[in-house]
Structure 1
Amino acid sequence: MPYQRLARRLAEAPSPAVSTLPDGSVDRFCRLSAGALDPVERRTTFAREAAAGRRKGFGLEPERVEPGGQSVNTAQQAHALGADATCYGHLDDPEPGRDVFDALPLETVSMGRPAIVNILDFEDNDLLLVEASPDLADWRLADLRAAAPLPEVFDTEAVACSNWVSVPGMAEAFHELGDASIPRVPFVFDPGDVLGGDAAAHRELREAIRALGASVDVVLSVNPTELRALAAALPEPPESPDDEKRVRAIRQAADAAAVVKHGKNEALAATREGIVRVDNPVVEDRRQIGGGDRFAGGLAVGLGDGWNWETALAAGNACASHYVATGETASATTLREWLLDRDLA
């Protein structure tokens, strides 16, 4: 059983070095209201009220502020499992006298201003309202080189990269990295919400992954909706709606080391050795956003520590499921106890 092996691995205190890059955000968890005494607690209610046209506006009241961003969340999960994690992100808090990133219990290197994300934490489904970071939109590999030498960034057991959709310069950076003299390590890449874009945009993504693969082992990690979008954009999409065929086809088209689908029911990977599938623990969702970042953190730790694919996928599943069930990033000890409580270990 992969979760039994995972529990044993967690008990051995994994400690690989993991780097993450390049985004970052200040996450403001907000309460929405349609009037001073009229809270809006469901996304469907908000949609109905907005569509009705009776309201001129809605109240937005921040309740708490946290460090966020895909690379930050991934680094926090890797650190919680015991990794020596460093986040190379956009972490300059724009609020004078406040630095939300000071609370991070890991090493950070900032390359500029973060995005501002207002999170409407509805009961049925979260909604994000994003103020983009101009520094992130203008990011280039030269900014990372200015922050730290590339051999230092990649002198790890794994690297996790995310948020292609917010970083136009990432395509050029991948091509540059493909020509760079850096250690060959697992490179867990979560591109984010790649649902739009024309055929040329998807081709650019595949070509960038292929170029990057000259120097690192690219592991493309996407959710089921993103998987379908990537597969549909292939020059020769799979004829049948089968996720196993989708991950195989995308891996071949991008020449990636692996393509991984993470989702509520399972993790599915097409690797050089073949297909690997690991069922996901069934949980009741408390949080809808951030689970994919915890999956990437668990997967990066597993691959960085040399675990087999089943165990590494189980780590990603367990980290994501624990987070969406509890709203908390699990440590190795907490995750092991959580598995034992569910008779999975």
Structure 2
Amino acid sequence: MEDITDALARDADVSLTCLPDGSVDRRYAVEDATGDVETRRDLGRRIVTGHAKSFLVDHEGSEPGGQAVNAARQGHALGAETTLYGHLDHEAFDGLPFATRSMGRPADVAVFEFDDDAVMFTEESPDIAGWDLDALDAASDAADPFDADAVVWTNWASTRNGTAALRALADRERGASDASNRDGGSDGWLIVDPGDVTVCERDAVGPFLDALANIESFDTVLSVNDDELAFLTTAVSGDGDAVDGDGDAATADRLERVRERADLDLAVLHAESAAVARTATGTTRCPNLDVDARRYTGGGDRFSAGLAYAIAAGWALPEALTLANACATFYVAHAETAGPDRLAAWLATRVSDA
């Protein structure tokens, strides 16, 4: 793990756009007649055995959620000039401390929390499911959402038109480049955190990665967790060509296959034990801190935002991965989003205790 104390202390003039989802997250504890249901396995056992046919839920609170919202909160906490284009038509989003533009109704998510994990049940908004670049244009009020140092594009898995929107972006940026006779340089970073791709049809993966490959005006990054990386790799591998096994070599192979197919500048795995990044020239691994978790959702979104901030600010890749890990792990451990000062103090304590 890199020492990022000096990097956190530096002021960085970074602009960040996050899009396109949003949800109202209602958190519940679960219990039955005998008391709290402490684990997911325990809940499953009680259901399967018929031990309990009804459960009580204790509403512990509601908060603004969604991948883009979580990423925007982290980017703002780090000091980025942050604009959120999301589905925010609900009073839960009124107090967000950064610029917001709404494109419709949010999803409604019930989060059932256990000692070891969480389970989410989502009532998706049709506005999110049918979202496209036309909806983004309508909400932008003549501003350009992509005129930022980094764009964090989340939750492709929940948008029917997500692949078409990426194609439209590629066509739009290519047309703008041709019109201005630009030399093909980068307009900034596009960090795509696609959400739970395991709920998607495998046939959708190839076109999604191909759409990313067609984006030429941004440096492109894909940020996924273990399950998502395995699903993407299997979906684009031929029969008998799947990557078997675990370990660093298998992870690097999976990342390289996805990176190559999508012509990415960076393919990144954010996992509990480490973050691993694959470029065209090699693999970088950054170990993560071991913490007692209070939250089991939202860490990956903060990882992607921390990564976006760091690479847009020009941090070296090992430092960027360290920051991304710290943003995610701090949130998982504290159920709070931290800025530079809190992260620096916490990391100093953790390193001294190690």
Deviation at residue 239 of structure 1 after TM alignment = 4.5
Counterpart CA distance in 2 for 1:336 and 1:23 is 30
Match of 2:349 in 1: 341
Matches within 5 A, 1:267-306: 267-306=275-314
* TM-score (normalizing by structure 1): 0.92
Deviation at residue 306 of structure 1 after TM alignment = 1.3
Q: Secondary structure at the match of 2:152?
A: strand
| Matching of residue 174 in structure 1 with residue 174 in structure 2 | no
Deviations 1:269-304 (A, max 9, x none): 111332111111222222111110110110010011
Q: Secondary structure at the match of 1:87?
A: strand
Aligned partner letter, 1:45:
D
Match of 2:210 in 1: 207
Deviation at residue 13 of structure 1 after TM alignment = 2.9
Match of 1:76 in 2: 73
| Matching of residue 16 in structure 1 with residue 24 in structure 2 | no
- Within the candidate set 113, 132, 146, 1:140 is matched to 132
Deviation at residue 110 of structure 1 after TM alignment = 0.5
User: Are the equivalent residues in 2 in contact too, given 1:43–1:126 (CA < 8 A)?
Assistant: yes
User: Are the equivalent residues in 2 in contact too, given 1:179–1:215 (CA < 8 A)?
Assistant: no
Aligned partner letter, 1:189:
V
| Matching of residue 314 in structure 1 with residue 293 in structure 2 | no
Deviation at residue 195 of structure 1 after TM alignment = 1.7
User: Are the equivalent residues in 1 in contact too, given 2:85–2:101 (CA < 8 A)?
Assistant: yes
Deviation at residue 59 of structure 1 after TM alignment = 2.6
Match of 2:226 in 1: 224
Counterpart CA distance in 2 for 1:20 and 1:298 is 12
Deviation at residue 264 of structure 1 after TM alignment = 1.1
Question: Which segment is superposed worse, 107-116 or 223-232?
Answer: 223-232
Deviations 1:232-265 (A, max 9, x none): 1123445543001111111011111111001111
User: Are the equivalent residues in 1 in contact too, given 2:156–2:194 (CA < 8 A)?
Assistant: yes
Aligned partner letter, 1:67:
P
Deviation at residue 196 of structure 1 after TM alignment = 4.2
Deviations 1:185-236 (A, max 9, x none): 111111111124444211122122112x223222000011111111111234
Match of 2:262 in 1: 254
Distance 1:64 1:326, change over 3 A: same
Distance 1:238 1:44, change over 3 A: closer
Counterpart CA distance in 1 for 2:322 and 2:141 is 33
Q: Secondary structure at the match of 1:153?
A: coil
| Matching of residue 117 in structure 1 with residue 115 in structure 2 | no
Deviation at residue 178 of structure 1 after TM alignment = 0.3
Deviations 1:312-345 (A, max 9, x none): 1111111111111111111110001011112279
Matches within 5 A, 1:27-176: 27-35=25-33, 38-93=35-90, 99-148=91-140, 152-176=144-168
Q: Secondary structure at the match of 1:315?
A: helix
Question: Which segment is superposed worse, 228-237 or 294-303?
Answer: 228-237
Alpha-carbon RMSD across the aligned residues, in angstroms, is 1.9
Counterpart CA distance in 2 for 1:73 and 1:199 is 27
Counterpart CA distance in 2 for 1:66 and 1:239 is 39
Deviations 1:47-100 (A, max 9, x none): 12211235443233322110000000001011111111111000011xxxxx11
Distance 1:134 1:313, change over 3 A: same
Match of 1:190 in 2: 193
In structure 1, stretches of 5+ residues that fail to align are 94-98
Counterpart CA distance in 1 for 2:22 and 2:273 is 28
User: Are the equivalent residues in 1 in contact too, given 2:157–2:200 (CA < 8 A)?
Assistant: no
Counterpart CA distance in 2 for 1:196 and 1:121 is 21
Figure out how many residues of one structure are paired with residues of the other and give that number.
Answer: 336
| Matching of residue 326 in structure 1 with residue 346 in structure 2 | no
Aligned partner letter, 1:92:
D
Deviation at residue 152 of structure 1 after TM alignment = 2.0
Aligned partner letter, 1:228:
A
The list of structure 1 runs, each at least 4 consecutive aligned residues, that deviate by more than 3 angstroms after superposition, is 196-199, 235-241
Deviation at residue 311 of structure 1 after TM alignment = 1.1
Aligned partner letter, 1:233:
A
Q: Secondary structure at the match of 1:91?
A: coil
Counterpart CA distance in 1 for 2:243 and 2:59 is 47
